[in-house]
Chains A and B, each alone.
Chain A
Amino acid sequence: MDPLVASASVIAASLAVGLAAIGPGIGQGSASGKAVEGIARQPEAEGKIRGTLLLTLAFMESLTIYGLVISLVLLFANPLA
């Protein structure tokens, strides 16, 4: 592999993971915090709140996964090599 392509791929992989984790990280933290707050206020609605949280977290985590896939493909199965 060309050393320039290799180094650019490693930088791109690290940026992909890092940048893709910022938004979902903030979103997941905020959503989880609010959900726990809601459960503390209304314990009788715990099942509903946790259910909604599960659905939203599944969507938010997939954004991290997209970045992760790009970086893993760049590192282990680089199409540019």
Chain B
Amino acid sequence: MEENDGVSESSSETLVSVEISSEPNSSMEEYYQLQNELLLLTLGLMLIAFISVWVAYSLNTSLNYLMGASVGVIYLKLLARSVEQLGRSKSKVGKNQLALFIGLIVVATQVEQLQIVPIFLGFLTYKAAIIAYMFKALSKAT
């Protein structure tokens, strides 16, 4: 009887440990909130920069910017997903995202109508959003 109890205890422990490692816990809500906030900030900055570039330069340049910024948003989502999977699966950080970026730049260099600089600067919009988020978090902390 005692042996059986021991076996059932160890199997239940194994089940519990598998459950913890495979399912996200409640603290992950904070992470999803951060993701949403970064996405909204990036979209807001995208809109402001798109209109500014349209006014300052031309529609063609602003559409180039928009293309780069859209790929930047997808890149950020993929990075967030790979960070979420870190430690849960055997995937590595930062592989698919870079392929996406390489594809964007190769297309920008090969197609006549596209310009590299607005597309690249558009891609970096997500970084500006992260810096804005950091300043926001710092101002909230102090």
Contact = CB atoms under 8 A, between A and B. Distances in A.
Interface residues of A, number: 30
- Interface residues of B: mostly helix, strand, loop or mixed? helix
A17 B30 CA distance: 35
Interface stretch (B6-14, B56-64, B75-83): B75-83
Contacts, number: 91
B29 interface: yes
A73 to B, nearest CB: 6
Interface residues of B, number: 37
A39 B24 CA distance: 12
A47 B30 contact: yes
Nearest to B82: A57
B98 A68 contact: yes
